[in-house]
A and B are shown apart, each in its own frame.
Chain A
Amino acid sequence: MPWSGNKPKIYTGSKGKYEELVKDYKEHFPSYSVLFQVAAAIGILLDQKKELRRRDELVNTYSIDKDGTLELLMKIKYPDLTPEERLEELEKYAEAGIEIIYKDVNLTGRFNLKKYVEDLNI
């Protein structure tokens, strides 16, 4: 289901990192939408947010969170904010998350999902 509210685009301050990761880790991140979702999830998981230093268009809003889990989680976290405000918050989580992934990948040379998923066996 589409994100409620009236904010058609998702923005980022780290477009270059997105481009690099999607290009180099196609197996894990087949698209910008997938990478944005993963980055937002890691930001939420580690409860880290980062203000966007610049706002480059990344993807259309309707292409992310098709099952509504992220929106639900943001509603629980921020029950008093408007949908647009919640999406902006999600962008901040994703901004922090992409930074973490980028560093991790540069450090280890691979995307280590195990670090973020509890029941990951390998």
Chain B
Amino acid sequence: MILFWIVFIPLAGGLLAWVAVKHGPYVRRKNELIARWVSITALAVDLVLVLFLWLSGSHTVSIAGGTWIAEISRPWLPSLGISFHLAMDGISLLLVLLTLFLGMAAVISSWTEIEGQVGFFHFNLMATLTGIIGVFVAVDLFLFYFFWELMLVPMYFLIALWGHEKRIYAAVKFFIFTQLSGLLMLASILGIYFIHGRKTGIYTFDYFKLIGTPLESGTALFLLLGFLAAFLVKLPAVPFHTWLPDAHTEAPTAGSVILAGLLLKTGGYGLLRFAVPLFPGATADIAPLAMTLGIIGILYGAVLAFAQSDLKRLVAYTSVSHMGFVLLGVFVWNEKALQGVMIQMLCHAISTGALFILAGAIQERIHTREIMRMGGLWAVAPRMGGVWLFFAVASLGLPGMGNFIGEFLILLGTYEVRPAMAAFAALGLVLSTVYAVWMVQKAFFGVNREGWRIPDLEAKEMTVMAIMIAVILWLGLYPQPCLDKAREGLSSLQRITSGAPKVSSIEIFGRQQ
């Protein structure tokens, strides 16, 4: 039952926040403040629940041979074999924790930025978070698709109503990309549902029952492509990334944080949890292609990031680059790479989230995102400059920061099976240094030609930043607790795929080189 609360407390908080602004007892300003605090409180309560699950390690449920932390299963549409089935293992737990943490950061970062329709804004924000949490814990494919779609509409509103200049264009593009790919995934979900039903007589959308459905290789590939469409668009992998720079740039700060920090992770999570375990054979077949796409993403994203003059757009392209590592790691599918994928997802979410918060703070102060018009900001806002520098070097993968651990583990895992690919992917580290150093240099050093006089980060913003810095350092210096938490889940995913006819990827790709 605790999972039900974890998923729906944010939604309830969002509704409450909306009502508070509409029908609150005080003047509008005060009601809006209440709405913000209600949202924060709801997320904090949820965070406590999840932490409780983490720390009280005794609650374990065994489902289909794997160890899970919590589970809830209720019939929903029994005639079709659809149930309200949620389950959480270490992977889900870490990602839900991340969701709540970044959700709070998003609420705080929009404290002064959002002025119109504050109640509705918070409702949309919290509804998106509900959808994302749902995606991370759903283990019924119909329910998964349900949450997958659920997070889109409020996200669309966040971009379309509170975004910047070209917001409508960006919002529609985002929506159409994700909706089209989502529907293709739905067609694939239905495909595996009917194939499983015809072969076994049991029509079900349950993840645990659908795993191991015997499929002919052609069919499996066809169905896998439907899933990949959804996940690669979300991740995003080149060439399906074109929605991302627009959406990230035009979204309000909170929207960018959620997009970069969380929405992209649903793509990575989907690959880990659904695409590979459901179709291990077909995945192995297309792994070289997918890994190549990942490497292209790493390099292409980094090069494009360097070419941007819009600060938020630059950060957006770095996401393409970093998520390329995730794609690479998932398709390498050995223990090191998967551990790396987990760390990379967590650290990318936090460091990019922080960069978007800072970019938003800069835009709020100087009303432009043009890097060329910035310069010399370090002198007027040293705290902001210092924090920006920290996250810029985190993003380029400096040892000691979490991002380094993630990228390093992925490269190590890749090296074991495909040394040449690892070499190409490692070039990404060089390129990321170029853009990261360049953006710090242009924005914060040099001459303050426009004579900016801006207030430095406030206590509230500094608190958020300090916590984010602490997490990045923790993940960089002592990632063991996280790795331990995820290990059980990751290894049970690997067990699933190793039972399949085409065994795990290592043996297949390993000695071809």
**A-B complex is real:** no
Binding site for A on B (CB under 8 A): none
Binding site for B on A (CB under 8 A): none
